[in-house]
Structure formats: C-alpha cells, structure tokens
Amino acid sequence: MFVALQLIGVGLMVGGTGYLVDSVQVFALPEGATLEAVKVALLMVVTAAELSFALMLILRGPRPSTPHAVQG
C-alpha cells in the first residue's frame, strides 16, 4: 500500500507540472503544438493521480477514533 501512495504522490507532483505548463503556455507560446502535447500528457497523469487519490480515500475510510482518557 505504501508504494501505491508514493506513486499517487509522484503522479500528483508530475501533474502539478502540467498545471504550470498549461498556465505558461497560454501566455508564452499560445500556438505551440509540441508544448500542447506535453501539457495534455501531464494533465492526463494528474487526472489519473487525482482520481486514484479520491478512490483511495473513499475505500480506506476515516481512521478509527481512539478514546481519550479523561483526567480529573
């Protein structure tokens, strides 16, 4: 499970680069076809990572609460 969490984290970081490329590409090279392809690939990675993260949170559920001792 730990390796899966690491892969999701790496996917989110790589995909964050896609968001950055998307923002810069609009201003720097609005008609750059190569940069457009890179942007789409990175955004596909972040989409898969975000969906995996959401699914993991849904399937894993909340942590069980531990009762705290009341000291008086």
- pLDDT confidence band for 72 (50 / 70 / 90): low
pTM: 0.71
User: How crowded is the C-beta side of 55, counted as CA atoms within 13 Å?
Assistant: 9
- pLDDT confidence band for 51 (50 / 70 / 90): very high
58 has a pLDDT exceeding 80: yes
What average pLDDT does range 40-54 have in this prediction? Answer: 88
CB-count burial class (<10 Å; 0-12, 13-18, 19+) for 53? middle
Computed on alpha carbons and rounded to an integer, the radius of gyration of the chain in Å comes to: 19
